[in-house]
Amino acid sequence: MLVQILFYLFGAFLVASALGVIVARNPVHSALALVLCFVTSAAIWLLLEAEFLAVVLVLVYVGAVMVLFLFVVMMLDIDLAELRSGFTRYAWLGWITAGVVIVEIVGVVTARNLGVDVTRGTVPLPEDYSNTAELGNVLYTRFAYPFELAAMLLLVAIIAAIALTMRRRPGLKVQDVAKQVAVRREERVRIVKMDPEKRP
Partner 1 sequence: MASETTLTWATVAPAIAEIYLAIAVCVLLLVDVFYGEKRRGLTPTLTLAALALGALLTAQFGAVTERVTLFNGMFVADELGHFLKLAGFVFVGFALLYSRTYLEQREILKGEYYVLALTALLGIFVMVSAASLLTMYIGVELLALSVYAMVAFDRDSGIAAESAMKYFVLGSIASGALLYGMSIVYGVTGTLSLDELAGQLRGELSAGVILGLVFIVVAVAFKLGAVPFHMWLPDVYHGAPTSVTLFIGTAPKIAYFALALRLLAEGLQGAVAEWSQMLAALAVLTLVVGNVVAIVQSNLKRMLAYSTISNVGFIVLGFVAGTPEGYSAALYYTLVYVLMSLGTFGVILLASRKGFEADELDHYKGLHARDPMLAFVMMVLMFSTAGIPPFVGFWAKLRIIQELWATSHPWLILIAIVMSVVGAFYYLRVVKLMYFDPPGELPATERNTGARVALGLNAAAVVLLGLLPGPLLDLCARLLH
**Contacts to partner 1 by CB under 8 A:** 111, 113-116, 137-138, 141-146, 148-150, 152-153, 155-157, 159-160, 162-164, 167
CB-nearer residue toward partner 1: 72 or 161: 161
**Within a 13 Å sphere around the CA of 155, how many CA atoms are in the beta-carbon half?**
6
Tell me if 27 sits within 8 A of 78, measured CB to CB.
Answer: yes
Q: What secondary structure letter does DSSP report for 198?
A: P
CA distance 40 to 49: 14
Q: How far is the CB of 115 from partner 1 (least distance, A)?
A: 3
Give the torsion sign (CA, 103, 104, 106, 107). Answer: positive
CB-nearer residue toward partner 1: 15 or 144: 144
Q: How far is the CB of 116 from partner 1 (least distance, A)?
A: 5
CB-nearer residue toward partner 1: 113 or 180: 113
Q: How far is the CB of 78 from partner 1 (least distance, A)?
A: 19
